[in-house]
Amino acid sequence: MKGRLTARQNEAYEFIRAYQRRHHKPPTLQEIGEALGIRSTNGVFKLLQTLEKKGYLRRDPGAARGLHLLDSEDPFALTEAAPSIPVISRTASHEPERLRQRPSGFLSVDPFFLPRGLDPDACLIGRAGDDGMSGDGIFKGDLLLIEETPWRQLANRELVACLIGELLLARRFVFANNRIHLQPANRTYLEEIFSPEDPSCYVIGRVHAVFRRLA
């Protein structure tokens, strides 16, 4: 029987799972340290040692990528098949390549919330930065399930997540007159209009689901 994981141990375990699914190989100690913000290789080693003792993985000493996850039920997942999706940490609109670098954590999402055929590896979790979509039931702090989608593939009026500067927002997307229009669903917020080349705005993709923790 596996031991229960602390939040930090689960974060490491979920990162290894997500990395292995995306790259078809386990991460190195350095890659784990960079993702989790652990500067010391020894700190990563101790974390993996604990995961091994609790029965979640097996290590091959001396191998750079010698990590093997052991098949069993994930105690933090809703179902055994629930994919782990990275949660976006603070990222600027002009650096979209950093969206998947050093996630603030991982969220196991039940497949029920994923549209049929949607690749979980194309998804991210982002936190709504304002109440601009309150008219559609989305509020500041809500977690958004985002499918990374080039803006040219989006239909008008689709619900999207975007970065304006370092602020992650949910908005309705409209492309008209060679401009990207980001429309709120709250009368106290204004529509914002950008050129597709404007680095102060980056459309991450369409939003498929919203998660909220009740107080």
Condensed to tens digits (0 to 9), the pLDDT of residues 110-132 reads 777 888 878 888 999 999 999 99
- Sorted by where each starts, the structural domains of the chain and their CATH numbers stand as 7-69 (1.10.10.10), 84-211 (2.10.109.10)
CB atoms within 10 A of CB 88: 23
- For residue 122, the SS3 value is helix
* Dist CA 105 CA 142 (whole Å): 15
* Dist CA 196 CA 174 (whole Å): 12
In our burial notation (b when 16+ CB lie closer than 10 A, e otherwise), range 23-48 reads: eeebbbbebbbebbebeeeeebeebb
* Dist CA 112 CA 79 (whole Å): 10
For the segment 78-115, what is each residue's pLDDT rounded down to a tens digit?
333 577 899 999 899 999 999 998 889 888 887 778 88
